[in-house]
Amino acid sequence: MAIFPIEEFDKYETPFYYYDVELLKRTLSAVGNMARNSGCHVHYAMKANANPRILALVKEAGMGVDCVSGGEISAALEAGFEGSKIMFAGVGKADKEIELALDANIRCFNVESLPELININEIAKRKSVMARVAVRVNPNIDAHTHHYITTGVNGNKFGIELEDLDEFVNTALVSENIDLCGVHFHIGSQILDKEPFKALCGKVEDVLARLERLGALITIVDVGGGLGIDYDAPDEHPIPDFENYFQIFENGLRLKPGQELHFEPGRALVGQCGSLITKVLYVKESIGRKFVIVDGGMNDLIRPALYQAHHKIENISSVSHVDDIYDVVGPICESSDCFGTDERLPIVSRGDYLALRSAGAYGEVMASSYNCRPLPRSIFSDDLYL
Ligand code: LLP
């Protein structure tokens, strides 16, 4: 079990996100070193966590950012990222977001449809600038992850289908304000199996050959994000196996001189460094069940309610060696406001702190004020003992 400075936690109102800065730095430097050694480029998918402190650490580690909205581009600029370190993805880019991105002279737009390409060309023409574009291709690979976070199979809204690729590329090549310089893929999230990534390499090679035949000069080969983390055993696997992951692509792709390999991990960089810290309000006994009612709810961490995700729950206050079985639920008026059923925990009492682990990605950033609840705040380990 990880050690939490619970004596310090008493200074703060719960629930809050607690970030282990030391682990985050170690994770970022593991990725940074790997990228430097192999000459590839990493853009952090900031949708996973856009907390300014986290963005600052990502920037310090020398990475760029992958943005999916004008809001994220603004947050990246505020955090000090240069336009050249920003990629802009997403199926529905609004005109004002495209304008903002062009004004910031971002590195590249990842474009997902022909109408979007035409629109970007028109806006760029009005501004008399060139828009650098990567075509997002849907490789039709099933990553066998939760259906809400699978993105690379036919019939979902993401990317250009392989049969529509020629038309897209030919249009891009004759669009005066478009510089088609990249190709982009992303097959899903929380992928722990190597096979889908290996299959992706094959598709990337095919697509690159096809683009070359069509006369496109591709310099950016972006294979997306998606590397999963160990939600069941965060302390055994605090840092994902980046080496193995990068290796799959290095072995599986034969890039041409001048072609850069790009990754855009989100969860793998920040997932394990965060926990939602919540306090036990009541232990309620009901027919056949014991409910631990905590002060954090699905508005603070929605992943269990939305994706049936499970975050490891730890009673970080208890010194008891006796366990009991509990359902851990939040205070929101919805049955899906439940973090775990039949959880074996050291005896739980009112006032104990529980940690919901591996919540650094898609936790704080997906919080809402449902039920007029305040948004959870964030505490960084290096803020303590000050
Ligand atoms: N690139 C693109 C184009 C993406 O759509 C995503 C995530 C990423 C990169 C980063 O993926 P990662 O490395 O984090 O797996 N809210 C969900 C996850 C949604 C992922 C959306 N796209 C969750 O809590 O599991």
Q: For residue range 148-170, list pLDDT tens digits in order.
A: 555 656 667 889 999 999 999 99
pLDDT value, residue 213: 97
Rounded CA separation 380/21 (Å): 6
- 15 preceded by a cis bond (ω within 30 of 0): yes
Q: In the numeric block, which tokens belong to residue 75?
A: 């947050």
* Type of residue found at 181: C
Mutate to test the pocket of ligand 1, among 31, 42, 43, 47 (most ligand atoms within 8 A of CB): 47
Per-residue pLDDT for 145 more than 70? no
What percentage of the chain exceeds 90 in pLDDT? Answer: 91
Q: Specify whether the CB–CB gap between 83 and 106 falls below 8 A.
A: yes
* Closest among 29, 27, 26, 81 to 50, alpha carbons compared: 81
Q: In the numeric block, which tokens belong to residue 36?
A: 């430097």
What's the CA-to-centroid distance between 265 and ligand 1, angstroms?
8
Ligand 1 atom nearest 188 alpha carbon: 15
Q: Which is higher by pLDDT, 144 or 125?
A: 125
pLDDT in tens, 250-306: 999 999 999 999 999 999 999 999 999 999 999 999 989 999 999 999 999 999 999
* Closest among 353, 351, 378, 343 to 363, alpha carbons compared: 378
pLDDT in tens, 70-79: 999 999 999 9
pLDDT value, residue 115: 97
pLDDT value, residue 319: 82
pLDDT value, residue 386: 62
pLDDT in tens, 13-44: 999 999 999 999 999 999 999 998 889 999 99
Distances (CA, A) of 211 to 7, 90, 172, 367: 59, 22, 11, 41
Q: Specify whether the CB–CB gap between 294 and 256 falls below 8 A.
A: no
pLDDT in tens, 180-217: 999 999 999 999 999 999 999 999 999 999 999 999 99
What's the CA-to-centroid distance between 135 and ligand 1, angstroms?
18
Q: What is the pTM of this model?
A: 0.96
What's the CA-to-centroid distance between 129 and ligand 1, angstroms?
30
Rounded CA separation 142/146 (Å): 11
DSSP category for residue 52: H
As a whole number, the mean pLDDT across the chain is: 95
Q: In the numeric block, which tokens belong to residue 280?
A: 């036990």
Ligand 1 neighbours, Cβ below 6 Å, are 45, 47-48, 66, 89, 149, 151, 186, 189-190, 224-227, 264-268, 303, 307, 361-362
